[in-house]
Chain A
Amino acid sequence: MAYERILTRYQEIPGYTGTMDAYLAHGGYQALAKALQGMQPAEVTEAVKRSGLRGRGGAGFPCGVKWGFIPKNAGKPVYLVCNGDESEPGTFKDRMLIEDEPHQVLEGIILACYAIGCRRAFFYVRGEFGRGAERAQRAIDDAYARGYLGRNILGSDFDLDVVLHRGAGAYICGEETGLLESLEGKRGQPRPKPPFPAVAGLYRCPTVVNNVETLSNLPHIILRGAEWYAAIGPAKSTGPRLFSVSGHVNRPGNYELPMSITLRELIFEQAGGIRGNRRLKAVIPGGSSSPVLTEQHLDVTMDFESLAAAGSMGGSGAVIVMDDRTCMVHVGEIVSRFYHHESCGQCTQCREGTAWLHKVLHRIEHGKGRQEDLDLLLDLCDNMKGKTICVLSDAAAMPIESYLKHFREEFEQHVRERACPFGGAEAF
């Protein structure tokens, strides 16, 4: 597919380093100058709405619409938080954007702050991303030194401070209200909603939380125009998307493409097909919370609507590919162990449900499962959905239901044979 890269265009520049000078030499901060010198904040929001940009953090919510929820003249400070907590299993694109092109994220942060009237923004970087945090801090320091942050940015009357904040290892801090609690120095336990962050977020003030990749799109939208952007990809899933492809493919990595790409093209053309010429068995198309797809779904396009229609979701853009030697019960055991470990424990359905899912999947995988366990799993999943403070509980249930739906016979075989037909964990 002929496609002009946008967010990762820098990778095509020989010797590119992502420093302030390199970014400036290749058109960096021109969008900010254009906005500050010729656009009202409301015009920036309008442009982002017209561009059709949807959040890349997981939910795919329209970015400009979210900004529009910030009350005008609330009499309180407004905050922007850049979500760089990236921890949805399979996802590794925000780390790349933070480490390799930090000024693109930062310019996006500044543009968003200008649009929503924020004077102090926070850049929350996952605790394990030490190098990313260093690169981001360096970018912030350089931006202050050159007048892109601080007082009277580029001679305008716009002031902005950006504070880098490192997490300390907890998946749930990627959920936006868990992140806000963490930023306030507390346990990262999600808050009941409403109120939504746009009304009462950080320090109970109006707050926008946006993902690193979402914000990285903004300079391009402002510089090249909303109409140019909206013409990329399907009408309801516009712009470029970074797909993190991992697992049993020949060329794992991040691929920037329009969401009109099919799953087949992404796996077999871009990522070079399945390793060792084996057969594809299953694909998780949007991070470990998304329901699994199989060979029959390969012609689905990777936009939010089409993936939902196929019974899954676009999620974080993480595509995990599995070949025919993969045991789906073992996959379920790994995925449920993760959600059990990461449940913050506030809601009974989630705390107990994730523990039980893991326990039951573990015993099936280890040859100790019973026939009733299959329905027990479905029952547990049913009880975990739609009832909790945040959607981690749903995220834990949905994939397991999908493994049972598409690979039920494999679960039954484990029970019948009292062993894993794929050789168990030792085979990995």
Chain B
Amino acid sequence: MISNETRARFDALVAKYPERRSALIPILHAVQAEAGYLSPEAIAWVAAYLDLSAADVMSVASFYDMLNLEPVGRHMLYVCHNLSCTLLGGERLIRHLEARLGIRCGETTPDGQVTLRRMECLGACGAAPVLQLDGVFHEQMTAERADALLERLRSESA
């Protein structure tokens, strides 16, 4: 499952820190970037690699919102629901996206393309309302701009 090349990359991450365990979150990020989520097998592999128990790694991974312990869609759509975004239509944007995608926040579209998730303040409140698609910020969102974004996703994956 884990190639020699990936292993070498992890060795380089570990070497940056005085204590091996510090590389845990960077490694989980790297695994997730490839597989989309952290499967039980991946958790077990990382645990063995860092001399930790799988339960320990699981407990760390479950603490962080960005680490997925369940399979997710090809694309991650984060929408901010904190105060500054809500003041400028963030909830309307969320309702629009839910209707458009036919799912509720926290769910994945049946075709496995998009997982929609509510997020706390994303640090872009000056350009509210804000969403992040696969880690990229899209600011001052309107229903029309959100539709255009989803349309682009669909045409890219077609």
CB pair B25–A338 under 8 Å, yes or no, is no
Interface bits A164-207 vs B (CB < 8 Å: 1, else 0) = 01111111000000000011111110000000000000010000
CB pair A131–B82 under 8 Å, yes or no, is no
Give the complex CA separation of A168 and B28 in angstroms. 9
Instruction: Tell me, rounded to whole Å, the shortest Cβ–Cβ distance linking A379 to chain B.
Output: 24
Which residues of the other chain, B, contact A165 by a CB distance below 8 angstroms? 22, 25-26
Cβ-defined partner of B22 (8 Å) among A185, A252, A331:
A185
A169 with B67: in contact, given A129-B123, A252-B125 (CB under 8 Å)? yes
Which residues of the other chain, B, contact A290 by a CB distance below 8 angstroms? none
Let me know if B36 is at the binding interface, CB within 8 A: no
CB pair A184–B22 under 8 Å, yes or no, is yes
Let me know if B155 is at the binding interface, CB within 8 A: no
CB pair B18–A87 under 8 Å, yes or no, is no
Instruction: Tell me, rounded to whole Å, the shortest Cβ–Cβ distance linking A274 to chain B.
Output: 12
A89 with B82: in contact, given A163-B17, A185-B23, A425-B91 (CB under 8 Å)? yes
Stretch with Cβ within 8 A of A (4 or more), from B1-9, B107-115, B126-134: B126-134
Stretch with Cβ within 8 A of A (4 or more), from B58-66, B97-105, B143-151: B58-66
CB pair B59–A185 under 8 Å, yes or no, is no
Instruction: Tell me, rounded to whole Å, the shortest Cβ–Cβ distance linking B25 to chain A.
Output: 5
Which residues of the other chain, A, contact B67 by a CB distance below 8 angstroms? 168-169
Let me know if A233 is at the binding interface, CB within 8 A: no
Give the complex CA separation of A120 and B16 in angstroms. 10
CB pair A184–B19 under 8 Å, yes or no, is yes
A185 with B60: in contact, given A92-B124, A247-B88, A428-B91 (CB under 8 Å)? yes
Let me know if A413 is at the binding interface, CB within 8 A: no
CB pair A428–B22 under 8 Å, yes or no, is no
CB pair A168–B25 under 8 Å, yes or no, is yes
Closest chain A residue, CB of each to CB of B120: A338
A428 with B82: in contact, given A87-B121, A168-B67, A169-B64 (CB under 8 Å)? no
A183 with B87: in contact, given A89-B125, A338-B82 (CB under 8 Å)? no
Closest chain A residue, CB of each to CB of B65: A169
Let me know if A369 is at the binding interface, CB within 8 A: no
In this complex, the member of A185, A248, A341, A428 whose beta carbon has the largest number of chain B beta carbons within 10 angstroms is A185
CB pair A87–B120 under 8 Å, yes or no, is yes
Instruction: Tell me, rounded to whole Å, the shortest Cβ–Cβ distance linking B20 to chain A.
Output: 8
Give the complex CA separation of A52 and B123 in angstroms. 27
Which residues of the other chain, A, contact B121 by a CB distance below 8 angstroms? 87-91, 288, 338
CB pair B18–A120 under 8 Å, yes or no, is yes
Which residues of the other chain, A, contact B136 by a CB distance below 8 angstroms? 130-131
Let me know if A320 is at the binding interface, CB within 8 A: yes
Which residues of the other chain, B, contact A313 by a CB distance below 8 angstroms? none
Indicate the size class of the contact surface on chain B.
35 or more
How many chain A residues touch B (Cβ–Cβ < 8 Å)? 56
Let me know if A126 is at the binding interface, CB within 8 A: yes
CB pair A86–B23 under 8 Å, yes or no, is no
CB pair A128–B84 under 8 Å, yes or no, is no
In this complex, the member of B59, B91, B92, B136 whose beta carbon has the largest number of chain A beta carbons within 10 angstroms is B91
Give the complex CA separation of A90 and B86 in angstroms. 11
Give the complex CA separation of A331 and B81 in angstroms. 12
Let me know if A245 is at the binding interface, CB within 8 A: yes
Give the complex CA separation of A245 and B16 in angstroms. 37
CB pair A167–B83 under 8 Å, yes or no, is no
CB pair A90–B28 under 8 Å, yes or no, is no
CB pair B65–A89 under 8 Å, yes or no, is no
CB pair A185–B125 under 8 Å, yes or no, is no
Give the complex CA separation of A77 and B87 in angstroms. 47
Give the complex CA separation of A311 and B145 in angstroms. 41
Cβ-defined partner of A91 (8 Å) among B17, B23, B125, B132:
B125
CB pair A247–B64 under 8 Å, yes or no, is no
Let me know if A246 is at the binding interface, CB within 8 A: yes
Give the complex CA separation of A126 and B25 in angstroms. 12
Give the complex CA separation of A170 and B62 in angstroms. 11
A187 with B87: in contact, given A89-B82, A245-B126 (CB under 8 Å)? no
CB pair A168–B66 under 8 Å, yes or no, is yes
Instruction: Tell me, rounded to whole Å, the shortest Cβ–Cβ distance linking A211 to chain B.
Output: 13
CB pair A169–B125 under 8 Å, yes or no, is no
Closest chain B residue, CB of each to CB of A184: B22
CB pair A91–B21 under 8 Å, yes or no, is no
Within 8 A of B (CB), among A358-413: none
Give the complex CA separation of A120 and B22 in angstroms. 14
Give the complex CA separation of A120 and B28 in angstroms. 23
Let me know if B73 is at the binding interface, CB within 8 A: no
In this complex, the member of A170, A244, A247 whose beta carbon has the largest number of chain B beta carbons within 10 angstroms is A247
Closest chain A residue, CB of each to CB of B85: A246
Which residues of the other chain, A, contact B137 by a CB distance below 8 angstroms? 131
Within 8 A of A (CB), among B37-85: 50, 59-60, 63-67, 78, 81-84
Which residues of the other chain, A, contact B86 by a CB distance below 8 angstroms? 334, 428
- Apart from A127-B29, A248-B87: 7 A-B pairs, beta carbons within 8 A: A86-B123, A163-B17, A169-B65, A170-B64, A171-B120, A320-B84, A338-B121
